[in-house]
């Protein structure tokens, strides 16, 4: 299966947040939409990705104030661009789903922007990949059982 097929099955919604928004705003949006990452935009152009993992790291290093040298800051006072992931790894719609899964595993990431002709067309999550793979395995398992038990219609 290629990524284009998976993206076509999903609602075509890309959740994003402005570069200058606060981390508190991003948390509210993630909770509201029950998602684990937001595309970060500046002048309507994607410039990064903010994930739950980025927020946890922020809490440890900035918000929680782990060192005596740093004064802790509240999430409402920390800008998204301070903690977002900037150097994005992306995939294309024509890429194979297994290729995307390997990229996610190798780089320990759970979200991959999907870019077509330098334009963001979706965000692929590890949940999307696993759900699709499980569905495919179940279907294949069903047909193999029918074939083995001689109930296959072909």
Average pLDDT over residues 106-110: 95
- The pTM for the full model equals 0.80
What share of the chain has pLDDT > 70, as a percent? 94
Domain membership of residue 50 (yes or no) is yes
> Residue 64 sits in which domain range?
3-148
Please report, for the domain that includes residue 63, its CATH number. Answer: 3.10.580.10
> 132-151 pLDDT, tens per residue?
887 777 777 777 777 788 77
Residue 91 confidence (pLDDT) above 80: yes
Average pLDDT over residues 105-131: 92
> 6-58 pLDDT, tens per residue?
888 877 789 999 999 999 999 999 999 999 999 999 988 899 999 999 999 99
Q: Pull the structure tokens for residue 74.
A: 């509240």
Domain membership of residue 20 (yes or no) is yes
Domain count within the chain: 1
Residue 154 confidence (pLDDT) above 70: no
Instruction: Please give the mean pLDDT across all residues of the chain.
Output: 88
Domain membership of residue 154 (yes or no) is no
> 46-82 pLDDT, tens per residue?
999 999 999 999 998 887 655 555 678 889 999 999 9
Domain membership of residue 153 (yes or no) is no
């Amino acid at each position: 299966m290629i990524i284009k097929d998976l993206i076509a099955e999903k609602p075509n919604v890309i959740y994003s947040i402005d570069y200058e928004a606060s981390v508190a705003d991003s948390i509210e949006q993630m909770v509201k939409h029950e998602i684990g990452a937001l595309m970060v935009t500046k002048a309507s152009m994607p410039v990064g990705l903010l994930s739950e993992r980025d927020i946890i790291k922020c809490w440890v290093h900035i918000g929680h104030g782990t060192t005596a040298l740093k004064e802790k800051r509240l999430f409402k006072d920390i800008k998204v661009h301070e903690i977002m992931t900037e150097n994005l790894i992306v995939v294309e719609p024509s890429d194979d789903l297994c290729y995307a899964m390997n990229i996610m595993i190798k780089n320990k990431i759970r979200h991959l922007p999907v870019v077509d002709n330098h334009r963001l067309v979706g965000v692929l999550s590890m949940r999307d990949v696993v759900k699709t793979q499980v569905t495919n395995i179940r279907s294949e398992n069903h047909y193999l059982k029918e074939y083995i038990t001689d109930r296959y219609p072909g």
